[in-house]
Structure 1
Amino acid sequence: MQSVGRSGTEGTLRDVAIKPDATRSQILENQTRHRPSARTGPAISDQNKFPALPFLLIAVAATLLIAINIGHATMPDIVGDAFIALSAVIAALLAGALGFVWWRRRAMLYVSALVPPENSVSTAANGAVKKIEREYGELLRRYHEAKIRAETAERAKASFLAHLNHDLRTPLNHIIGFADLIGHQAFGPLGSERYLAYASDISRSGKQLLVSISDILELAEFDSGARVLHVENVCVEKMFDALKIRFAASAKRAGVHLDIKNPQGVELDGDIMCLQRMLGNLIDNAVRFTPAGGRIYVDAWSAEDGIVLEVTDTGIGIPDERIRTLTKPFNLEDALKTHNQAGMGLGLAIAKIIAELSGGQLAIQSTPAIGTTVAVSLPIRAQEKQKKNIAA
C-alpha cells in the first residue's frame, strides 16, 4: 500500500490555492443558480424568462384587429360578424396556449431551483450510508470485544471458585479431622482436661468456618450459573427421612422438638441434592432461632398444580419490615443480634435461589414472639414449567 506523505499533501493544497478567485466565483454561481431566495423565491436567470411572450401577445392582438377591420370593410354584416367571432376565438385560444406554455416553464424553473442537482443528492446519500456503515461496524467490533472479555472473565471466575473450593475446604477438613481425633484421645490420654476443651473449640470453629465458606461458594456458583440442576424423580417421603436423621442431634442439643411428617405418595421432579440443601437451610434456621422447649414442624402436601413444602417453628419470629430483606445475601436479621447466633445470613438466600431455579417460589409469613412459616411451592413435573415458559 502506498502511503501519502506530507509533501504530497502540501502539493495538493498548493494546487487548490492557485485560483482562489475562480473557486469563489464558481461557488457564488452555484449558490445563485440553485439556492432559493428567502423573500422572492428561487433565483432564475434572465435567459429563462421567455422574453418573446409579450411580442407574441401583441402579434395576436394585432391580428385580431386586422381581422375585425377586414370583416367590416369587405364582408357583409352576417358573414363579417361570423368572421370576427371566429378570429376572436382563434386569438383567445392562441393567447391561452401561449400563457400556459409560459407559466409551465416558470414552474419548471422554480422547481429546478428548489431541488438540488441529482449528483449532489446521491453524493450526500452515499455519504450518509457510509457513515452509518462505519458506525455499525464500530459498534459490532465493540460488542464482540465486550463479549470476549465477559466470557474470559466468566471462565476465570469459574476457575477461581474451583481452586478456592479445593484450597479452603481441604485444609479445614484436615483441621477438623485432627481436632476430633485429639478430642477422642485415640492415642492415649492428653494429660489435662483443657486440651480436650481446646480440641472441641477447634473442631466447632472449623465446622462453622467450613459451613460459611461452603455457603459463599455455593451462592457464587448459583449466581454465576455454574451450578446446573440435575432433574430426577424425587420421593418426598425418603427425602424427609434423610432430614430426620440429619437434624435429630442438633434439635436435641437445642432442646426443641422436631416433628417431620411422612408425606406418603408425594413426588416431584427436581434436583435431590439442591432440594435437601433448601430444606436443610430452612430447618437449620428454625432450630437456631427457636428457644428451648419450642417446636418445629416440617410437612408437605400435593395439589393439582404443584406441591408445597412447609417449615413452621414457634421461634422468636420476624418483624414485617425485615421479611423483605431476609432473602438478600449477607443481610442478617435483627434476631441474630439478640440471639447471638453465628452465620453469614445466606441460608434463606440460597433456599430462595434453589426454589426459583426449580420453577417455584418461596414465601415467608412470621409474627414476632409467635413463630415463622416458610412455604415453598414447586411444580410436580419439570415439563410443566417449561410449557409455561414456552407459552409466555
Structure 2
Amino acid sequence: MPHPPTEEAHRLGATLQGLGANPDFGAPGFRILVFAPVGRTAELAKQALGRAGFACTVCAAMDEFCAAFREGAGAALLVEEALSSAASVRLLVDALTEQPVWSDCPVQVFVANSEKPSPPLATLARLCAGRSVLLLDRPVTPGSLISVMRAALQNRARQYALRDLLAQYDEARAEADSANRAKGEFLSVMSHELRTPLNAIGGYTELIEMGIRGPVTPEQRTDLERIRMSQKHLLGLVNEVLNYTKLETGTVEYDIADVPVREAFASAEALVMPQARAKGLELVIGETERAMAVRADADKLRQILVNLLTNAVKFTHPKGRIYLDCEREGECICFTVRDTGIGIPEDRLAAVFEPFVQVRSDLTRTQEGTGLGLAISRQLARGMGGNLVVVSAPGVGSTFTLKLPA
C-alpha cells in the first residue's frame, strides 16, 4: 500500500504547479526545435505552432538540431526520417543524456507505426527508456499537434520550476553552511580565549592555598576551594564547547585500534565511581570476556562511556542503580548504560542528541552541563563507525546503547 503524501510533498507539488501554471510559451526557454527533412513538413509544423503562439526553430541537419538542443529548448519535434540511421540516433541520444539532472526535455517523434518501429527507432526507445521520448503515429492534424506540444511544454514548465527550486535550495544551503562555519569559528575562538583566564584563576588559587602570599585562614581555604570548583566547572564547559566545534568542523582525528573492553570499563569506572558514591548510587559493572575487544579510539570510547555514566548519575535519585554492561552482537560490540533515574518523555527522545538541548529544563537547570555531552557522544560514535541510541520512559529510567565494530 503506498504511503500517503507528506506535508512537504504537498507543498512542493503546490509550488511546482503554481510556478508552471501560466508559462509564456513564446519565451526563448520554451522554443520548440523542429527537424523534419521531408518535403514541407517542418515549415507546415512551424506555421501551425506559430499561429498557436509557440516559438519554433527549424533545423536543417541532425548536428544542427543537437547543437540547438544543448543550448536549451522547451520541446523537440522530429519525424521518423530524421532518425533513419544509427549515427543520427547516437547524436540525439548523446544530446539527451548530457542534460542536467533536473532536465528531461520532451521529444516527440512522429512515425508511421509506433507499435512496429524501425530498427533505429527501436534503438532510440531502448537507449532513452525512462526519458520523455514519445513515438506518436502520423498523420496528425494541426489541432492534435498543438495539443501534444502544449502538454509537452507544460511538462517542461514544471521542470524549470524544479530547477529554480533546486537553485534556491542550494543557495539557502550554502548560506546555512556559511553561518554554521561562522558559528563554529566564533565558538572555537571564544573557547580558546576563555581558557586562558580560567587557567590563570586556577593557578593563582593554588598559589594562595600554598601560603605563598601569606597565611591562609580555614575560612579562606573554604572560599578558595569554592573558587577552584567553579573554575573547574567553567573550564569543563568551555572544553565541551571546544570539543563540539571540532566535531562540527570535521577536525577531529581518530586513532582506531583494538581496545580491550575490560580496560575501557575500568577507566570509565575509576572516573565515575566517586560521583556515584557521593550521591549514594550503586554502580554495577558487568563481567566481560578477557579477550573481548572493540575497534575504536580508546580515549574517545572512554569519553563516551564517562559522558553516559555521568548523565546517569545526574538524573538518578539517591539509592538508585546504574549498570554498565556489554555483549557481542554479530560483528559488533554493544555497550549499554542503564539507570533507574527519572527517564525521558517519549516526545523528547528525538531531541535528546541535539546540541544545546535540555530535555528536562525543570531539572537540568540545577545540574552542571551545556547540553552537549550526548550530542558529542553520538558524533564520536558515528566517527568510529558506530552509533548511539536510547530507550527511555519517565519514572523507569533510560538505557543508552553504544554499538561499535568488534
- Shorter chain as normaliser: what TM range? 0.5 to 0.7
1:357 is matched with 383
Q: What is the CA–CA distance in structure 2 between the aligned matches of 1:286 and 1:325, rounded to whole Å?
A: 17
For residue 287 of structure 1, the aligned residue among 309, 313, 321 is 313
Q: Give, in angstroms, the shift of residue 212 of structure 1.
A: 1.6
Contact 2:327–2:333 (CA under 8 A) maintained in structure 1: yes
Which of 374, 378, 391 matches 2:404? Answer: 378
| Aligned residue identity for 1:209 | L
Deviation at 1:292, TM superposition (A): 1.8
**Structure 1 residues 233 and 336: CA distance shift in structure 2, 3 A:** farther
* Alignment equivalent of 1:121, drawn from 35, 59, 65: 59
Residue 328 (structure 2) aligned to one of 302, 305, 310 = 302
Q: Is the contact made by 1:311 and 1:375 (CA closer than 8 Å) also made in structure 2?
A: yes
What SS does the corresponding residue of 1:310 show, helix, strand or coil? strand
**Once structures 1 and 2 are overlaid, which stretch shifts more, 184-193 or 145-154?**
145-154
Deviation at 1:281, TM superposition (A): 0.7
- Contact (CA 8 Å) 2:328, 2:334: kept in 1 or not? yes
* Letter aligned with residue 238 of structure 1: E
Cα offset, 1:335, TM superposition: 6.0
Residues 96-148 of structure 1: CA deviation (Å, up to 9, x unaligned): xxxxxxxxxxxx975585378xx97369856665579xxx9xxxxxxxx9999
Pairwise CA distance, 1:251: 2.0
* Contact in 2 for aligned 1:360/1:377 (Cα 8 Å): yes
Alignment correspondent of 1:167: 193
Contact 2:281–2:313 (8 Å) recurs in 1: yes
State the identity %: 32
Alignment partners' CA distance in 1, 2:363 and 2:175:
42
Higher strand share goes to which structure? 2
Q: Report the structure number with the largest CA radius of gyration.
A: 1
* TM-score, length-scaled by structure 1: 0.57
Alignment partner of 2:370: what SS? coil
Alpha carbons of 1:289 and 1:184: their partners in 2 closer, same or farther (altered >3 Å)?
A: farther
8 Å contact 2:295–2:404 — kept in the other structure? no
SS at match of 1:375: strand
Q: What SS does structure 1 have at the residue aligned with 2:342? A: coil
TM-score, normalization: structure 2? Answer: 0.55
Q: Are residue 229 (structure 1) and residue 280 (structure 2) matched? A: no
> Are the equivalent residues in 2 in contact too, given 1:300–1:307 (CA < 8 A)?
yes
Q: Give the deviation of 1:190 after TM superposition.
A: 2.0
Tell me the alpha carbon deviations over residues 247-277 of structure 1, each in whole angstroms, 9 at most, x when there is no partner: 2222222222222335222201111121111
Deviation string 1:67-114 (CA, Å, 9 cap, x unpaired) is xxxxxxxxxxxxxxxxxxxxxxxxxxxxxxxxxxxxxxxxx9755853
| Counterpart Cα distance in 2 of 1:164 and 1:309 | 35
Contact 1:295 1:313 (8 Å CA) reproduced? yes
1:179 is aligned, of 198, 201, 205, to 205
**Kept after mapping to 1: 8 A contact 2:259/2:294:** yes
The count of residues paired between Structure 1 and Structure 2 equals: 267
Q: For 2:326 and 2:307, how far apart are their aligned partners in 1?
A: 16
Counterpart Cα distance in 2 of 1:166 and 1:230: 24
Answering whether residue 225 of structure 2 is matched by residue 200 of structure 1, we say yes
Where do 1:44-123 residues align within 5 Å? 111=41, 114=44, 121=59
Query: In 2, distance between residues paired with 1:112 and 1:336?
Result: 76
Q: In proportion to residue count, which structure has more helix?
A: 1
Q: Tell me whether 1:214 sits opposite 2:236 in the alignment.
A: no
Q: 1:311 to 1:148 in 2, by over 3 A?
A: closer
Please report the RMSD computed on the Cα atoms of aligned residues, expressed in angstroms.
4.1
Q: Which moved more, 1:285-294 or 1:180-189?
A: 180-189
Q: Which amino acid aligns with 1:241?
A: A
List runs of 5+ in structure 2 lacking aligned partners. 1-37, 47-56, 74-99, 101-170
Q: In structure 2, what residue type is equivalent to 1:171?
A: P
Within 2, Cα distance between the matches of 1:273 and 1:175?
27
User: Counterparts of 1:337 and 1:147 in 2: how far apart (Å)?
Assistant: 35
Distance 2:271 2:309 in 1: 10
After superposition, give the CA deviation of every residue in 1:147-205 in whole Å (9 maximum; x if it has no partner).
99999999988876665443222321221233244346566532361x33332222222
**CA shift for structure 1 position 219:** 1.4
The yes-or-no answer on 1:247 pairing with 2:272 is yes
**Contact 2:181–2:249 (CA<8 Å) still a contact in 1?**
no
What amino acid maps onto 1:249 in structure 2?
Answer: P
For residues 381 and 299 of structure 2, the distance between their equivalents in structure 1, rounded to whole angstroms, comes to: 13
Displacement, 1:217? 1.7
Alignment of 1:344 onto 2:282: no
Deviates more, 1:267-276 or 1:151-160: 151-160
What residue in structure 1 maps to residue 339 of structure 2? 313
Aligned partner of 1:121: which letter?
C
Within-5 A mapping of 1:7-46: none
Q: Is the 8 A contact 1:307 1:377 kept in 2?
A: yes
Letter in 2 for 1:219: Y
- Please tell me the residue identity of whatever aligns with 1:242: S
Give the unaligned 5+ runs of structure 1: 1-107, 137-144, 381-392
Contact 2:334 2:401 in 1 (8 A): yes
Contact kept in structure 2, 1:259 and 1:295, CA below 8 Å: yes
* CA drift at 1:343: 1.6
CA separation in 2, counterparts of 1:325 and 1:153? 22
Tell whether 2:293 aligns with 1:267: yes
* Residues 1:174 and 1:128: Cα distance change in structure 2 (over 3 Å): same
Give the secondary-structure state (helix, strand or coil) at the position aligned to 1:359. coil
The residue number in structure 1 matching 2:353 is 327
